[in-house]
Structure 1
Amino acid sequence: MFIAVVQENFAIAEEEKHKIQVETFRRNADPTIKKDFVIERWNIYRFFKEKPKALAIENLPSSLILHTQKSRVRELLEDDDNTNKKKSKKYGIMGPTDRLVISVKRFFGYEEIDN
Structure 2
Amino acid sequence: MAEQSGMGKRIKAARKAKGLTGEHLSELCHINATYFRQIEAGRKIPSLTVFVSLCRELAVSPTYLLEDCLNDNELSGFNVLSDLWKTAPPYQIEVVTAMIRSALECMEVLKNDLLA
Q: Is TM-score (shorter-chain normalized) higher than 0.5?
A: no
As a proportion of its length, which structure holds more helix? 2
**Structure with the greater relative contact order (CA < 8 A, sep ≥ 6): 1 or 2?**
2
- Quickly name the TM-score band, shorter chain normalised: under 0.3
